[in-house]
Structure 1
Amino acid sequence: MKQILATVFALLVASGAPAFAEGDTYTAYSNTAVSITGDISMDDFGITFANGESLSFSALVGDHFIVDGRRVNASVYSVENPSDPELENGNRLCGSGDVSYLANWAGSDGLTIVAVFTGDEPPESSDDMCASYTYGD
């Protein structure tokens, strides 16, 4: 059995395939996503941007969110080490301070919305976001 596992691992490494599962990949859709984040990979542990920069999440702090006055199912995460990483074309994710929370929810037509927030308290609505980005699957 050890021989088989070693052979499979060697084949994965030689083929360039990732040796571990990555998060879901999303294609930049909105102008802001295309020009700032590029395509992303995201799961319950963090988000990685097209240029390789990433933010790790420390906890899921909410499972719903208020968007334009409506309650929606969402994931609201606290960022483990708040920062405002430099992304595509020298742009920053937020531009007005370190990102301390991130929320994502399903938009219309199968799109995914990601919003970023600064501040010490978990956001309850999209009103307080410093930026939002839209992605397709």
Structure 2
Amino acid sequence: MSILKYAAVAFCLVSTPALADDLVALSTTATSITGDISFDDFEIVFENGKKLVFDELIADNFIVNGKKVPASVYSVKGTANPKLLNGNRLCGTSPVTYLASWLDDDVTMIAVFETQDAPQSDEDMCALYTYVYP
């Protein structure tokens, strides 16, 4: 095998990093607090450049309005509660502890939590933000 063929095989075996999804704020809440976002399995970056870094993915499903849906539930690293657009914060004065994301048709839903225990459903969310792909 030539060196070029080895290089091509090696290139194919190297995993590429996950690219963030760029999402446009849809709800009034998202428009006025977060603005547009970039979101991936490692962090969420808000329009003003502030971010929440995820510690780990803790669940792949979630209860929304009493129905189990495919979702990503993340624990948030540290005690982040960034100031976003117009000095707003995601929920209030407490640090954000968890974030859940799921699709509802073509709309990305993001629920934010300030709870000590990992959320199982949307019941304890402190805020809900909605986004769409551009």
TM-score range, shorter chain: 0.7 to 0.9
Describe the SS at the equivalent of 1:33. Answer: helix
Q: Which runs of 5+ in 1 are unaligned?
A: 1-19
Q: Distance between the aligned counterparts of 1:107 and 1:52, measured in 2?
A: 26
Match of 1:12 in 2: none
Higher helix share: 1
Write out the 4+ residue segments of structure 1 that deviate beyond 6 Å after TM superposition.
none
Shift of 1:95: 1.0
What's the Cα RMSD here? 1.3
Counterpart amino acid of residue 108 in structure 2: T
CA contact (8 A) 2:61 2:68 kept: yes
Deviates more, 1:75-84 or 1:27-36: 75-84
Shift of 1:22: 4.5
1:130 has 2:95 as partner = no
CA contact (8 A) 1:22 1:41 kept: no
Match of 1:6 in 2: none
Percent identity of equivalent pairs: 53
CA contact (8 A) 1:29 1:136 kept: yes
2:111 to 111, 115, 124: 115
Shift of 1:21: 6.8
Q: Report Cα offsets for 1:53-87 as digits up to 9, x if no partner.
A: 00100100000000000100000000011322110
Aligned residue pairs, count: 117
Q: TM-score, normalised by structure 2?
A: 0.83
CA contact (8 A) 2:71 2:103 kept: yes
Match of 1:81 in 2: 78
Q: Report Cα offsets for 1:30-73 as digits up to 9, x if no partner.
A: 00000000000010001000000001001000000000001000
